[in-house]
Homo-oligomer: A and B are copies of this chain.
Amino acid sequence: MTDPQRIWTAAAVIIGDEILSGRTHDKNIAQIATWLQVQGIRLTEVRVIADDMDAIAEAVNTLRAKHDYLFTTGGIGPTHDDITVDAVAAALGIEVIIHPEARAMLEDYYETRGGLNEGRLRMARVPAGSDLIPNRYTGAPGIRLGNLFLMAGVPHITAGMLDGLTGELEGGAPLLSEVIGSWVPESEVAILLRDVEQAHEGCQIGSYPFFREGRSGANFVIRSTDPDVLQSCVDTLCEGLGELGWDFTPGGI
């Protein structure tokens, strides 16, 4: 049996010149992060890199060695700038093959859409030994190779692929969280936050200030894998805010 205290971690590599140019606003970091939380896996590092063979290879090799799981988005489409499969295969030192099942999926999908062509057939190429991740929207599957998951860059297709992986990956105890909001400038209660965190082992308190309706406030996010410690930390923080004369709102503002 796996150690119940074991923390499972993941990293993500967001591949795409369009993110680095500012033209496209990334949506995949947040959706991968949210999905991983539910699986009991922590996203601990993300890299955004260009459509570049060396950059992809370096990121993939560095991160797969450090984490239980590695996800990539982008660069698995039909065009010349889609080089993720080649870069990953080169990084791992394995050959690229046409996956027969992927080819059949694409033949089926394109049967009424003009048929397979050279560009479309690129989407059946996988590093040898890969399995497929279902894509419910278009004919081109994602690719799973051990703990490595190559997904599409278009956010709704990525979402569908994540959905297809739900429950498939071993994770640990989910990181629980509670939010307390208050119309307090965070700098008024910085010492309280530090002291309450220190008094609760394994709890993290994050402070996220905002400025709305002409007033300063902050949401305090308390995280722990232990529900009792979490509740005690929340209670202590609320007490402390009250003693200092600040109102607070469970669930955040």
Task: Report the bound CA distance from A77 to B50 in whole Å.
Answer: 31
> Which residues A23-51 have CB closer than 8 A to chain B?
23-27, 29-37, 42-51
The stretch of A93-101, A118-126, A232-240 that contacts the partner chain = A118-126
The stretch of A143-151, A165-173, A200-208 that contacts the partner chain = A200-208
Q: In the complex, are the beta carbons of B44 and A204 less than 8 A apart?
A: no
Task: Report the bound CA distance from A156 to B37 in whole Å.
Answer: 28
Chain A interface residue count, CB cutoff 8 Å, equals: 69
Copies of this chain per assembly: 2
In the complex, what's the smallest C-beta–C-beta distance from A98 to chain B, in angstroms? 16
Partner of A21, one of B154, B177, B191, B211: B177
A45 (CB) vs chain B CBs: closest residue = B49
A51 (CB) vs chain B CBs: closest residue = B206
* A23, A25, A50 pick with most chain B CB within 10 angstroms: A23
A residues near B (Cβ < 8 Å) are: 17-27, 29-37, 42-51, 55, 77-81, 110, 113-114, 117-120, 122-123, 137, 154, 175, 177, 185-191, 193-194, 197, 204-211, 221, 223
